[in-house]
């Protein structure tokens, strides 16, 4: 079987890396850090969280950087909340915002309303002028129930956009062949996803972890933000976001790529396979 790297015109033993900043639009602090990472060459992709409070503000700072849509059905924080952009009662909790947990969405969400909401998020990103190159899902889990995955896959197929998926080794744990289903629809995804924090707490640790990746197309996802009072007030994980911003800058990804150890690419290369 031809590997994804080979489909992209690389050798079978090539290691390609997408560095993706999640949750553009989460806050002003996140927007600043994400655009900084994209423009410094520390990241090759980002994903816009359309219902979040600073999503429209992200449009002001946007200069045609590669952006996907971070499909959202959850608002997991206690005091910093957001909700659907469509009239979707089943997607609301008692606070009038999205539910805090994935399980709550699975239990109560109407699939027609999920489809309408996710479609609206994609269409609004396009209306705002973002050039969309992929889809992924907030909290990386709500889409991993078969009926929700069907909606995710249908939209990816319709808009001809690649998606983020767990590695194939996760299929037994999750319980259905999501990668085979995506392949049947011609929907492309990186071979696996790695969280920045799983690679270590220093630039050299991250560089070593990336250098040790197996051949294939990998995605490294990160949630960077600059340190501001707004961020500290909104998120109990503010320190992790700030540390990831600093770590992304210290990981010398461009230097690692220049050695030939990995090749940095964006989701646009995968989108081209679906054209």
Average the pLDDT over 85-106 and give the result. 96
Q: Which of the pair, 133 or 275, is modelled with greater confidence?
A: 133
Confidence class of residue 205 from pLDDT cuts 50, 70 and 90? confident
pLDDT exceeds 90 at position 76? yes
130-161 per-position pLDDT tens digit: 999 999 999 988 899 999 999 999 999 999 99
Q: Under CATH, domain 4-273 is a member of which superfamily?
A: Glycoside hydrolase/deacetylase (3.20.20.370)
Q: Give kind and range of the element (H or E) at residue 209.
A: helix 203-211
Range in 20-29, 45-54, 168-177 with the lowest mean pLDDT: 168-177
Poorest-confidence range of 22-36, 57-71, 235-249, 255-269? 255-269
For residue 256, pLDDT over 70 is answered with: no
* 213 CB-near residues (< 8 Å, 6+ apart): 15, 17, 194, 262
User: For 3-16, how does the pLDDT look when each residue is reduced to its tens digit (9 = 90+)?
Assistant: 999 999 999 999 99
* Secondary structure letter of residue 139 according to DSSP: G
Mean pLDDT value across residues 237-245: 93
What's the 3-state SS for 4-21? HHHHCCCCCCCEEEEEEE
108 is catalytic: no
Token couple for 270: 């995968």
DSSP classification of residue 213: P
**DSSP E strands, the chain:** 15-24, 45-48, 67-71, 132-137, 192-195, 216-222, 263-264
The catalytically annotated residue of 22, 133, 136, 192 is: 22
The domain locations on the chain are: 4-273
Active site residue 223: yes
* E strand or H helix at 34: helix 28-39
Choosing from 134, 218, 223, 245, the catalytic residue is 223
């Amino acid at each position: 079987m031809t590997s994804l790297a080979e489909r992209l015109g690389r050798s079978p033993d090539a290691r390609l890396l997408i560095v993706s900043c999640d949750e553009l639009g989460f806050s002003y602090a996140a927007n600043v850090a994400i655009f900084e990472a994209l423009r410094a060459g520390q990241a090759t992709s980002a994903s816009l969280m359309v219902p979040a409070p600073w999503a429209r503000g992200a449009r002001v700072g946007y200069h045609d950087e590669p952006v996907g849509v971070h499909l959202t059905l959850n608002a997991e924080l206690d005091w910093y909340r957001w909700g659907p952009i469509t009239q979707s009662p089943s997607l609301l909790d008692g606070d009038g915002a999205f539910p805090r947990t994935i399980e709550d969405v699975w239990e109560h969400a109407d699939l027609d309303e999920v489809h309408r909401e996710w479609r609206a998020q994609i269409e609004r990103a396009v209306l705002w002028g973002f050039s969309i190159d992929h889809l992924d899902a907030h909290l990386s889990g709500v889409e991993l129930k078969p009926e929700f995955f069907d909606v995710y896959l249908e939209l990816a197929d319709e808009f001809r956009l690649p998606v983020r998926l767990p590695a194939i080794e996760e299929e037994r744990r999750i319980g259905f062949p999501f990668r085979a289903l995506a392949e049947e629809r011609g929907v492309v995804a990186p071979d696996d996803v790695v969280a920045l924090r799983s690679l270590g707490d220093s630039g050299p640790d991250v560089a070593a972890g990336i250098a040790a990746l197996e051949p294939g197309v990998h995605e490294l996802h990160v949630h960077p933000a600059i340190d501001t009072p707004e961020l500290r007030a909104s998120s109990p994980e503010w320190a992790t976001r700030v540390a990831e911003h600093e770590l992304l800058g210290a990981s010398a990804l461009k230097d690692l790529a220049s050695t030939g150890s990995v090749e940095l690419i964006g989701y646009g290369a995968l989108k081209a396979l679906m054209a």
